[in-house]
Amino acid sequence: MIRFVVNRLLQAVPVLLAAVTIAFFLVRLAPGGPFTQEKSFSEESIRRLNDHYGLNDPVGVQYARYIGNLLRGNLGPSFKYSNRTVNEIISETFPVSLELGCLALGFATCIGLAAGILAALRPNTWRDYTPMALAMTGICVPSFVLGPLLVLVFAIQAGWFNAAGWDTAADRLLPAITLGSAYAAYIARLTRGSMLEILPADFIRTSRATGVLERRIVTRYALKNALIPVVSFMGPAAAGIVTGSFVVETIFNIPGMGKMFVQAAFNRDYSLILGLVAFYSLLIVIFNFAVDIALAWLDPRLRKVTS
């Protein structure tokens, strides 16, 4: 198990380096710069700003300097938010995005598992068709469509929630549902398919024949084996929820990292874009690493196959 963990950690290093490198050169290939849209600045002022931030240096020198600072945990100053560093911006916005992601992932897991188990226990009945039809709807409707629809119905017409903001507990509900609905649908379909494969197994029939309670059979025996494909999906799901927050945070005006990333792209704030790319890449690597550990714990055979 130790060898498995070490191999996973070593594999994460080139992935992070590749993500940061690609983002570094892509932002500099885009036309314009961080200060070209400042109409009130003269050409001399823009030149001095570029000199101050080292943007007039050769690209190779800028890249080596940025990687060196990144290895020390210094993501640099923001070009658009004066007197604020990228580290400070991330420390302020990450808790909001983390809360939204945890709520969306919790919603997706609870609803998806419950719907999948219910459908598998009564296959080819209305208890199967209804949740699977809703799951297909959740997959087909993207978040940038679902979010405005929820705002229109429950915020504007019904008046139950605020249309935007992140002030009260009720403000968390609509964004979490918007972000987690599609992943709840995938989890429901994966759970149903996996449960349908496990329930006819010999050890399940033996447990029923010996008088074990149906609830115990489902939760203790069948569900543990059925969770393997669901856990495999949780890594990409967590990554998708993190990146999907760009749209949701913009729709609901949530002060998280996703909204800040969108603003940084419009502002051509190189250091903030690169800092958020590095941080998002690190989060995705951590999610996938946690999923690999969970899978190795559920199925020890995977430790030899993937180590």
pLDDT in tens, 154-178: 988 888 888 888 888 888 899 999 9
pLDDT in tens, 212-229: 777 777 777 777 777 778
pTM of the model: 0.77
Distances in whole angstroms, Cα of residue 167 to Cα of each of 173, 217, 300: 12, 43, 45
In angstroms, the CA 273 to CA 276 distance is: 5
Cα diameter, the chain: 86
Please give the single-letter amino acid code of residue 70: L
Q: What 8-state DSSP symbol labels residue 1?
A: -
Whole-number pLDDT of residue 218:
78
Residues counted in the chain: 307
Which of 56-70, 123-137, 223-237, 270-284 has the least mean pLDDT? 223-237
Q: SS3 breakdown of the chain: % helix, strand, coil, rounded to 5?
A: 80, 0, 20
List the one residue out of 71, 74, 79, 70 whose CA is nearest residue 28.
Answer: 79
The mean of the pLDDT values for the chain is: 81
Of the candidates 103, 195, 182, the one whose C-alpha atom is nearest the C-alpha of residue 135 is 182
Instruction: Classify each residue of 173-191 as buried b or exposed e, where b means 16 or more C-beta atoms within 10 Å of its C-beta.
Output: bbbbbbbbbbbbbbbbbbb
Taking residue 304's Cβ as centre, other Cβ atoms within 10 Å add up to 10
**Domains of the chain, first to last:** 95-306 (1.10.3720.10)
Of the listed ranges 45-49, 113-117, 121-125, 132-136, the least confidently predicted one is: 45-49
φ and ψ at 114, to 5 degrees?
A: -60, -45
